[in-house]
A and B are shown apart, each in its own frame.
Chain A
Amino acid sequence: MKLVHIRKRFILVVLCTILLTLFFAPIYSDHLVIGLWDSLWNNETARIDIDNKGNISNEVEVTPLQVSEKTEITYPSWCKKEDGSCAVVNANIDDKWQDFAVEVKVVNSGKITIYFRGPDVRTAENIRYPVLVDYRFSGVDKKELLKGRKTFWHDNPFIYSFEAKDGQKIEVKFQARKHHFRFSDLQNVYHMNWLLFISVLVISFLLSYKLIQYISKFKLLEHNSRIDIVFVAVFFVLLFVPMSHISSAEKSMQENRILATYPKLFNKVLNLEYGKQFETWFNDRFFGRNIAIDLYSFLKMNINHIYINADALWIKDNNWMYREWYIKQKEFDKNKADEIIKQTNLFSTFCRENNIKMYMLIVPSKESIYTRFLPKEYKKVVERNQFNHYINSLISSFDVSAVFPYKELHQASYKDFIFFKQSHHWTDWGAYNGYLALMDVIKKDYPKLHISTLDEYNISTSKLLREDWDRDYDIGQTTGLLRIDKDYAYKKILKDEYKYYNHKNEIKPIITDNDSRKEKYFKNPQQADAPRVFLTGTSMNEDFLQFLPYSFSETKYYRLNSGKMTEVEMYKLLKRFKKDILDYKPDILILCVTTWNLQLFVNLTKD
């Protein structure tokens, strides 16, 4: 064999050994490859968190003093806690040292804590890993804190704390750059186990040697085209990629569900469902799953006029997004309708027996209000099904004061957005119109009730959507469902300004939020004589709560769809809330749901 062949083969073996050793890095280290890769090449952010702790109203106001275009300051919602809040400074760094300076204004006296750290970067399983940032010459109010080069990451920050007074201004200066590799990182940060590393290296070398020897036989024996050798190699590499790393995440945030767990082959006896369960497990967790699904979404999004994914559709011409479920809604079969009426009336009887006035607000679908923006092939379906007329006739059989404000919302939809274009949720304006329609009915029973007017509200605008539990700004539920990239949504889709209404005397609710319960409790001293309300329903209530609590003395809201419940369990209202209702003893019970949810009312009083 020629020397040149041997040399080539040796280079290939070395390359293959390196690749295999890196591939098996999780065996001998803790996020070594991904962490170092991000630290040395990918990362462009140094992060400083500035905390003001003392009480709930403690805050900090941060303004950049230097290299301002490279400094981004945010006040994320997770920062707001019962003992104060914080600001996050993201400084844009590169390979060379750069100076950054910000001024911190203290709002309410408290303990200021500054964290010099790296960015919060996580794996697909939501596990944070070390992305390093180099710091030097950090100083607070001319006091030098760091001498020489120091390296920090998110979970291992440099922390500096001191007491500060209300209105005090503090100057924070620092120099930062991308991390430059140091051998000690391997041990200190990535917890390298050298014995295991050597073992993996040796095994990788042996494996590579055998593999290259085997592959080279093909070349030598058959004189095949190099093009085909590369092709076969690429194919086999691709085959191994998805199983190279199996996600251990418990749930998928994007899909909003628990991921399948690894099945047992034997459960005393052979598990005959093992194959199917294994497939579900692998389908949920293979490496590169999100990238592959995003590629599919990207193709469909860019080729089709209407992009459809998982029941959601986006009409690219006008940026309206709809849900196929709502488009195709048609009347329930008679048995189901009868059961819905029966169950609703049974629930109403329970309320009556406990001296509670029950009202129901049924939110029409966006698809029925904004049929005019649907393409004609879908518009015809909505018009044909006439689901609104059906709902009107259905609720007339309820033994409850039920409000279905289709006409009101439809009329109001010509003044401003009733629904967000990128979500199935209604806007504040939509919720306000729903509120007015409901209050019109309640006022007949309680004439002294105060109905809020828009003068009582401050109005702000944003292109982002505030629609769910925490009313954080986001790109919209339907945008997420369609798997549209956030940056793309910011640039191409979110072009309209939405109005947000915040009461001038805002009532801050007491919030309970855990796996089993989602509750908000509002106490309104300005309407101390007004009735007490027990409100339950779906996420439509989140914007609705901008208005309702200002008409009542107390409002206790229980979110229906919360926790890990099945749809059937969610709608067993009596079983879920009987105790809460009887303990709270409200004057009024309001059930606020969408037309789609009505079908689940067959379970209202079931055990």
Chain B
Amino acid sequence: MLFSSMTFIYMFLPLVCTVYLLARKELKNYILLIASIIFYAWGEPSYLAIMILTILVNYIGANYISRSHNKTHRKWLLALTILANLSVLFYFKYFNFMVENVNALFHADINFIKVIMPIGISFYTFQALSYVVDVYRGDTPAQRDIYKLALYICLFPQLIAGPIVKYHDVAEQIENRNVTFEKVSYGIKRFIIGLSKKMLIANTLGAVADKIFSQPVEQFDCFTAWIGAVAYSFQLFYDFSGYSDMAIGLGSIFGFKFLENFNYPYISRSITEFWRRWHISLSTWFKEYLYIPLGGNRVAKWRNYLNLFIVFLATGFWHGAAWNFIFWGLWHGMFIIFEKATGWHKKEGRFIGLLQHIYCILAFVIGWVMFRADTMSYAWQYIKNMFGLIKTHEVVYLLPYYVDNIEIIAFCAAFLCAMPIFGRILQIPYKYKVCRTLVNIWLIVLFVVSTSFIAASTYNPFIYFRF
């Protein structure tokens, strides 16, 4: 089930909220767990088994680790549990990619497996890993109640697209949390903002990007190529951050407080800063569970660069089993290492600040082209087109085909909202009643308009019939 679907918003959510908010405190976790299982099983019930397996493996693994006093024993148990988690992830996400490359490299003929990747597997596997490692490190006790661990792993607000909630951040909240009116009200507002980001900005600009990226690169000019790249950059940000907002909002309705996942990444002056602001839950996960265990920056320079290289290779790989994701990860890793080596991003001054902005925007926009393109060769051609390096153009569709007034409005909204102008819109003090009222009315309007966009996607006329 998707957050931006009629069934979720207008069937699942009201029913779950009503039952949850009216239920006694001791029942709330069970209600959320049942809701989460229904939510997950909705689209593909068969993959529920994999999630249950993940829960069992981590429950048993973590409990054995916590009970064992033998260091080697604990290490082996940890390695075994991690291996089990990663094996499942590898099988569903990376196996066919590996087969494809082995076949290509060695002219082998290994058969592909017929498998569809279970939705959200990358997210919940990383959450499960965070739990086992936290228990191993002694940061948190092992969860004795399997239902509570199950709730942590499959809690529906962040199950499908994050944020990746680390166990030590929510362990206490699973045990004991309060649902207050303030949290519910804040959660609803945050949910509406996320939904609007997704439906009104991301989907509108996504359609622009889709139209452009579906054309052969010779069929649009340099300017259109930039429009496509920028549209996709905004689409990705508003889609993902919108989803995170909805997750954080839903969490708040149910009494949880999840950490922020985005903090205006597009105002960054360096890629190092970008990764402090973009998909924070993933970057901190890699920092805590990969970069620091590898030695972090308390090692020799070359080793530090190697660690960064590994982390960004893994980041790229985590996003998808395709070479363009790997190149995208390495592309970012390259800039991080460059910044680490030169310290260029730390220099200050108005002019240099502007240069840093331009540098950073260029770096991530080009990165997103790799991320979006179906193949690396298309990405390369596209990037060449952006810089006017395609010699022969046979432009078929002109710019107005891709962009009309709604898209221009979406671009403007995307541009403005990417900056911290409206950051405190939900924290207006009670004494400013008019402002607060206007914000609330505006949010309801956004909600209704977003709903109309969702409803419009269900309009599916059988056009042919009347011809």
Contacts and interface: CB of A to CB of B under 8 A. Distances in A.
A256 B13 contact: no
Nearest to A218: B181
Given A227-B433, A235-B447, A295-B452, A279 B7 contact: yes
B452 A225 contact: no
B17 interface: yes
B404 A304 contact: yes
Interface string B448-467: 11011111101111111111
Contact of A236 (B14, B46, B430, B461): B14
Contact of B9 (A222, A239, A380): A239
B459 A310 contact: yes
Contacts of B185: 224, 228, 231-232
Interface stretch (B120-128, B294-302, B380-388, B391-399): B391-399
B292 interface: no
B41 interface: yes
Interface in B1-52: 1, 5-7, 9-11, 13-14, 17, 22, 41-46
A214 B22 contact: yes
B106 interface: no
A25 B119 CA distance: 41
Interface string A136-151: 0000000000000000
A538 B10 CA distance: 40
B461 to A, nearest CB: 4
A349 interface: no
Interface residues of B, number: 61
B411 to A, nearest CB: 13
Given A238-B448, A272-B46, A561-B465, A282 B11 contact: yes
Contacts of B404: 303-306
Interface string A154-190: 0000000000000000000000000000000000000
B340 interface: no
Given A218-B181, A239-B13, A539-B466, A483 B7 contact: no
Most chain A CB atoms below 10 A, which of B180, B447, B464? B464
Contacts of B43: 275-276
A123 interface: no
Contact of B452 (A286, A293, A325): A293
Interface stretch (A3-11, A65-73, A240-248): A240-248
B198 to A, nearest CB: 15
A292 B466 contact: no
A534 to B, nearest CB: 20
Contact of B6 (A286, A378, A477): A286
A292 B440 contact: no
Nearest to B460: A255
A311 B463 contact: yes
A413 interface: no
B437 interface: yes
A204 to B, nearest CB: 16
Contacts of A421: none
A219 to B, nearest CB: 8
A283 B6 contact: yes
A231 B188 contact: yes
Contacts of A375: 400
Contacts of A227: 433, 436-437, 440
A295 B449 contact: yes
A468 B17 CA distance: 49
A235 B188 contact: yes
B288 interface: no
A292 B455 contact: yes
A304 B409 CA distance: 10
B45 A381 contact: no
Contacts of B11: 242-243, 282
B336 interface: no
Interface string A281-315: 01110100100110111011001111001110000
Contact of B459 (A228, A232, A276, A293): A293
Contacts of B9: 239
Most chain B CB atoms below 10 A, which of A256, A283, A305, A567? A283
A309 B443 CA distance: 26
B184 interface: yes
Contacts of A381: 396-397
Contacts of A255: 459-462
B405 interface: yes
Interface in A417-455: 424
B139 interface: no
Contact of A303 (B409, B440, B452): B409
Interface in A442-491: 468, 477, 481, 483
B229 to A, nearest CB: 20
A296 B456 contact: yes
Contact of A225 (B401, B405, B436, B458): B436
B444 interface: yes
Contacts of A238: 444, 447-448, 451
A305 B430 contact: no
B463 A310 contact: yes
B374 interface: no
B397 A377 contact: yes
B142 to A, nearest CB: 33
A325 B406 CA distance: 22
Contact of A275 (B42, B188, B437, B458): B42
A430 B180 CA distance: 68
Given A232-B181, A296-B455, A303-B409, 15 more contacts: A227-B433, A232-B185, A235-B188, A239-B9, A240-B14, A256-B466, A272-B44, A279-B5, A282-B7, A282-B10, A283-B458, A293-B459, A477-B466, A481-B461, A597-B467
9 contacts: A235-B192, A239-B10, A242-B6, A243-B11, A275-B1, A283-B458, A296-B452, A325-B463, A381-B396
